[in-house]
Amino acid sequence: MRIREIYETVRGRGLVRSQRQFSQEYFGMAANYAADTGFSRCSAAALLNLYRKLHEIGLADLKAMVGQHLLDVEAGNCGSATRA
């Protein structure tokens, strides 16, 4: 599952209304972060913030997917995200 799909799932569950809110509350970044970077180019720092937020609110299914994506980024196996 890609980060965009995680956003869509969180949005579908009614936890966020917009990419701006997701950027601030889940990525821990500026409101324009998702729009400016695109979901496919999230930094490792943003992914770590997302992982922590998903843990905090108890979304273990999505947290596991972000965790795997973060491991791929750190290992250099994911061309779609950038390192922090």
Domain boundaries along the sequence of the chain: 3-75
Q: Are 10 and 34 in contact (CB under 8 A)?
A: no
Which amino acid is residue 44, in one-letter code?
A
Q: What is the pTM of this model?
A: 0.85
Name the nearest CA neighbour of 84 among 57, 31, 48: 48
Read off the DSSP letter of residue 19: H
CA separation for the pair 22, 7 (Å, rounded): 7
pLDDT tens, residue by residue, 2-50 = 899 999 999 999 999 999 999 999 999 999 999 999 888 888 899 999 9
CB atoms within 10 A of CB 84: 12
